[in-house]
Amino acid sequence: MNPAHPLDSVIFISLPDNFELPAHAFKLDTTIPLPVQKAAAAADFDPSTLTQEQIFAGILTVLAYESANPHVQYYRSLIKAAKPDITRELTEAAILKAKNEDYEIADEIFAALRGLEPDNPAVILNSALFFDQRADSYRRSGLTEDADAYDESAYRYYKQAMEAEPAVPDAFFNAGFFYLKQKNFGKAKLCFETYLTLTDQSDSEQDENTAYKRERAGQISSDIGSRNLDDELFKSAFDFISMGQEEKGLDCIRRFLEKNPKVWNAWFMLGWGLRRLNRWQDAKAAFEQSISCGGENSDIYNELSLCLMELNDYATAGKYLHKALKLEPENTKIMSNMGFLALKKGDTEEACRYFTAVLEFDPDDRIAQETLAKLKD
């Protein structure tokens, strides 16, 4: 059975000429049917119990899911007249829901906001940030395809926000971090440089937040340039490895390393590609070289531990996983690997504790769910 669409619970009614919404003085156009939200798609509708809230909920649902409705402009004007603070109220609600990882409801509210304010750059940027956050959450849960889909949505809204006139500096600042995660250092650098161009020192002297962002943008842009991370070979290596063409990716990153032998990110990329090919010893050596070049972070420790586990060096694998977890105590990916290490050592009880901890932080983590279910069978 297909799940119900939100519009299935909306009906359109025509109001009599003498109908007025209580406590509101704005004029209704009785020739235009009003959307009304029922409790459920199959629920009956009693006109005598009609409330303002049902109409407003119906309007928001139409704005969210039926942008081609011929009366959408009228519905926008109607709800804005009735609720002048509706944009602020919905934005606060959506951000709170997203923060609490109540993503389905947050998604609906953001969709309604975009229907209500389709040309508002703040709404577009907040939508991009939401999809970016949701993609990260799905990737942590092992739902890679879903994560990729939300990354695409984030990209689309970041692009739209950066095309706004007048320019919105924060769109470029936040898009810079999005591109960093995509290992697209060229575009990240351009975004941070654009943010610096759109803001100036006088802004930062008056605004502590702007001062912090300018410092971060400058540092990241300089770091990318000093390590040549915007080199096309680096981006090509990441793209090839991500698409499962590891040998092509390894060729690109090796050529990059010939010119940039001290860049830890490149050694990490090399190790990542080798690890995906199950070349554990070679990958281990690459990750160790990455660390020696200054790349001491949780991702490297985690990746190195995977190689060490396959090489049966459980003690050293555990040491690096503990280092990684110390840096990121709530990283469920690291917790999962601690669980798998415990399984390799034959300690099922400890493994269960780690996978249970993963689900406490992320109840939707598919890998932890499936592994724990097998362990309890």
> Residues with Cβ < 8 Å from 337, sequence gap 6 or more?
302, 305, 306, 309, 321
d(CA 334, CA 351): 12
Q: What is the dihedral of CA 85, 89, 91, 93, to 10 degrees?
A: -170
d(CA 14, CA 273): 62
Report residue 172 as tokens: 């470029």
d(CA 231, CA 16): 67
Please report the DSSP string for 170-223 in residue order: HHHHHHHHHHHHTT-HHHHHHHHHHHHHHS-HHHHHH-HHHHHHHHHHHHHHHH
Report helix, strand or coil for 84.
Answer: coil
Residue pointed to by tokens 């690890």: 275
Taking the CB of residue 345, how many other CB atoms lie within 10 A of it? 15
User: What was the pLDDT predicted at 195?
Assistant: 96
User: What was the pLDDT predicted at 190?
Assistant: 95
> Residues with Cβ < 8 Å from 42, sequence gap 6 or more?
none
Q: Which residues of the chain have pLDDT under 70?
A: 1-4, 15-27, 201-206
Q: What is the DSSP letter of 166?
A: S
Q: Are 116 and 87 in contact (CB under 8 A)?
A: yes
Based on the number of CB atoms within 10 Å of its own CB, is 32 exposed (0-12), middle (13-18) or buried (19 or more)? Answer: middle
The C-alpha angle with vertex 239 and arms to 237 and 244, in degrees rounded to 5, equals: 95
pTM of structure: 0.80
What domains sit in the chain, N to C, each tagged with a CATH number? 6-82 (no CATH), 121-226 (1.25.40)
Please report the DSSP string for 267-319 in residue order: HHHHHHHHHHTT-HHHHHHHHHHHHHTT--SHHHHHHHHHHHHHTT-HHHHHH
User: What was the pLDDT predicted at 16?
Assistant: 58
User: What was the pLDDT predicted at 28?
Assistant: 72
User: What was the pLDDT predicted at 25?
Assistant: 46
User: What was the pLDDT predicted at 39?
Assistant: 79
